[in-house]
Amino acid sequence: MKINVTQSSMPNFEEYIEEIRDIFNSKWLTNMGPKHKILTEKLKEYLSIENISLFSNGHLALELVIQAFELKGEIITTPFTFASTTHAIVRNGITPVFCDINDKNYTIDVNKIESLITEKTSAIIPVHVYGNICDMKKIEEIAKKYNLKVIYDAAHTFGVRVNDIGVGNFGDASMFSFHATKVFNTIEGGAITFKNKEIERILYNLKNFGIKGPEIVEYVGSNAKMNEFQAAMGICNLRHIDEEISKRKDVVERYNQNLKNINGIKLNSIPEEIKSNYAYYPVVFDNYKKTRDEIDEQLKANGIISRKYFYPLITDFDCYKDKYVFEKKSVAKNISDRVLTFPLYSDLPLLEVDKICDIILK
């Protein structure tokens, strides 16, 4: 059997069947039904946030919150992210302006943001990477100085807390992904947490075709509603999320035991003020005896699927190449060429972790 880079967390089969039983009885399958409402309230409690709107996936959540804020012109973000971040900006008719990342936790380099701000800049979309948190204090200072919106791409940070504050409380809004590969999933799904309650109704309408009332369509909206079966999966998975994260922590600590203090291997570090969700296990190979690509191939030869994540950079995608300015010699490029994320999921046996590490070390 292959060891995949990730494996979806799922509840017991009977638990899910019981959860969806009343969906079959009511025949209410979508359009913000009872399960949708229950999950909304439970997520508010778990994430310690006041406002949340659920979506069919994280990408549409991000695309529509940009629309809800009526952003225009340019948005500063980073090229070290998943395609969705930039696609959501471009599909709103906005120009992405790419800022480099730092080499400590691979999030946006806050010392380079101000130099990229122009009269066209309307917002910053920083990306929390691998569960690592951006310098939100500095970003808030910059945003206030230039009157910019801040929308965090928080796809990797479900359940993460900073000094015991839920990460969804920062910025004007945060986008969470509930995709099957994430720490918490609703099969597909996503959410926006936000400060200003006034955009709640706008988000609600935008994800439902822009419909405001039976005979009123106010916005050019989309169809991004989370259905009842997705919400039911979320309700089940949320019951077990703390146990799942605890198991992921055990896997991360086993990797660390095997790979710490090895020349040429840089591991991810978690600051004391961060309560992590152990979403990913990134390793940067810098002057190691084998290159990142050689290690990736050797793992595959042994039935172990790792992932070059994020590679290539957004600015190297065919659809964006040569369209946007980004420095050639960048930290983002350096990390992208050297990083490999290893298999990490709650049910990964620790002996398999040892096997993976033995292959790398030998």
Strand partners, 197: none
Nearest CA among 138, 26, 125 for reference residue 78 = 125
- What is the pTM for the complete model shown? 0.97
Q: Note down pLDDT in tens along the chain; length 362 residues.
A: 899 999 999 999 999 999 999 999 999 999 999 999 999 999 999 999 999 999 999 999 999 999 999 999 999 999 999 999 999 999 999 999 999 999 999 999 999 999 999 999 999 999 999 999 999 999 999 999 999 999 999 999 999 999 999 999 999 999 999 999 999 999 999 999 999 999 999 999 999 999 999 999 999 999 999 999 999 999 999 999 999 999 999 999 999 999 999 999 999 999 999 999 999 999 999 999 999 999 999 999 999 999 999 999 999 999 999 899 898 899 999 999 999 999 999 999 999 999 999 999 99
351 in Cβ contact with 251 (< 8 Å) = no
How deeply is 47 buried, as exposed, middle or buried, from its count of CB atoms within 10 A (0-12, 13-18, 19+)?
buried
**Domains in the chain, please, with CATH?**
13-239 (3.40.640.10), 241-361 (3.90.1150.10)
Cβ count within 10 A of residue 17: 12
